[in-house]
Amino acid sequence: MERLGIVFSGRVRSALLCALALWILLIMATSAVELFTSYLGGGGFDATIRDVILIDILLFLPYYLVAAVLLRSLAARLALFHTLRRQIVVPEYAPPEVLSPAEAGWLANNDFTLNEVAATLKDLELRGCISITKKDADLMVRPLNMAEASPEEQTFVSRLIKNNGEFSTVGASAAAQLLEAGHQLSQSVHAQLVREGLLSASPRRNQVTRAVTAALAWVALFVQIALTASILSQPYVIFHVGYPRYPMNFSEIVLQLLSIGLVLGIIASGFWQRSLNDEHGLKNWRYVAGLKMFIEKVYKDRFYRDGKQIAAAHDMRTFYPYALALGIEKRFTDELKRALAL
């Protein structure tokens, strides 16, 4: 579950999801206090013990688990960033050579988009493997020193330039040509990550899980709005324990305590993080998550300003391609889209 929720999210989305989770748990805490108070005061429910337990287990517990998973993801994000700060001295920091921007994008998004294609092109340019020249809105790509490129990158460039010796964004087939070369690159990168055990052979499982998580978050938001509106407008009806036709049972309190303990345990588990290193060194999803947070913190909106490059050449070579692949920086990707009319 570490790769779901808000580990790879931007700062604004992370803050909003965190606020939603805390909002949900506020309702949980309020209802728990009312239940304990009613039990100690000798109150009761106007429902049987069986009905109360079924409602708690089938309705409220899954609802609270959504908040627990979101906050666990936030805890994992904080733990990763703390680990990153302890392991890496900023002035000496550079992403590992074994992790290409395309691979970082795959690990972060479980998908391959134009961001990774743009990142690969810019990375090759900054390494001196290709040249990218701009004339008005059009871009021209020419190979220079492809011996320094990886086999996957060499195949990508050869498919891009084909027999012309260069690639131009001018022409009706330019977009299709770039997307075809990018698709081939994505397959090569994905196959490599699968062989190394860093990705599953089929991305469908993670895509479905992410979609379900997003859907649950939206459902939780609407339920939370409805509950909050009811609490504010009818607090006596929502929280008051009615006529004690069915005395309260200790099992209801135990269930509430177990639910609270489960939620808190899930959240606390997010703070337990291993080192960023594993059997693949720094080529893993935890390092990519930390790298994304680092670039957002240090370099977001600091590569260019007013159309001019303000970052040092070393920082551009080191971080800019990864910022493109991770969707933090979009300047070159947008240029590519405009040139291809995408």
Give 10-residue mean pLDDT values along the chain (342 residues): 54 76 80 74 69 76 81 79 62 70 86 89 92 86 89 91 83 87 90 83 68 76 80 67 63 82 86 70 79 83 84 88 91 89 74
pLDDT of res. 236: 64
In a domain, 38, yes or no: yes
Q: Return d(Cα 57, Cα 321) in angstroms, integer.
A: 47
The pLDDT assigned to 3 comes to: 47
Determine the pLDDT at residue 88. 55
Cβ neighbours of residue 250 closer than 8 Å, sequence gap 6 or more: 39
Q: What pLDDT is attached to residue 269?
A: 84
119 and 247: one domain?
Answer: no
- Confirm whether 332 is domain-assigned: yes
Give the pLDDT confidence score for residue 282 in this predicted structure.
74
pLDDT of 281 reads 73
156 and 119 in a common domain = yes
**pTM of the predicted model as reported, rounded to 2 decimal places:** 0.70
Does one domain contain both 209 and 325?
no
* 57 and 190 in a common domain: no
For residue 2, being part of any structural domain is answered with no
Q: Which amino acid is at 198?
A: L
Q: Are residues 25 and 68 in the same domain?
A: yes
What stretches of the chain adopt beta strand conformation (E)? 44-45, 130-135, 138-143, 167-168, 246-247, 304-305, 308-309
pLDDT on residue 42: 67
Going by C-alpha positions, the residue among 133, 76, 122 that lies closest to residue 100 is: 122
Both 19 and 87 in one domain: the answer is: yes
Domains held by the chain: number: 2
Q: Are residues 249 and 207 in the same domain?
A: yes
Same domain, 310 and 168: yes
Residue with tokens 């330039």: 161
pLDDT for res 119: 94
For 189, the token pair is 């990168």
- 51 Cβ partners below 8 Å, 6+ apart? none
pLDDT at 1: 34
| Residue 83 is assigned to a structural domain of this protein | yes
- At 218 the pLDDT is 80
- Out of 269, 290, 321, a domain closes at 269
287 in any annotated domain: no
State the DSSP code for 303.
S
Range(s) of the domain holding residue 82: 11-92+203-269
The answer to whether 290 and 80 have CB atoms below 8 angstroms apart is yes
213, 248, 269 — which closes off a domain? 269
Assigned domain for 28 exists: yes
In a domain, 322, yes or no: yes
Q: Are 123 and 194 part of one and the same domain?
A: yes
Concatenate the DSSP letters of all residues of 319-331 into one string.
Answer: HHHHHHHTTS--H
- For residue 134, the model assigns a pLDDT of 85
Domain boundary residue among 223, 247, 269?
269
Same domain, 124 and 182: yes
Helix (H, G, I), strand (E, B) or coil at 140: strand
User: Of 148, 156, 152, 163, which is closest to residue 193 (Cα–Cα)?
Assistant: 152
Residue 27 located in a structural domain: yes
**CA 167, CA 163: separation in Å to the nearest integer?**
10
- What is the pLDDT at residue 101? 92
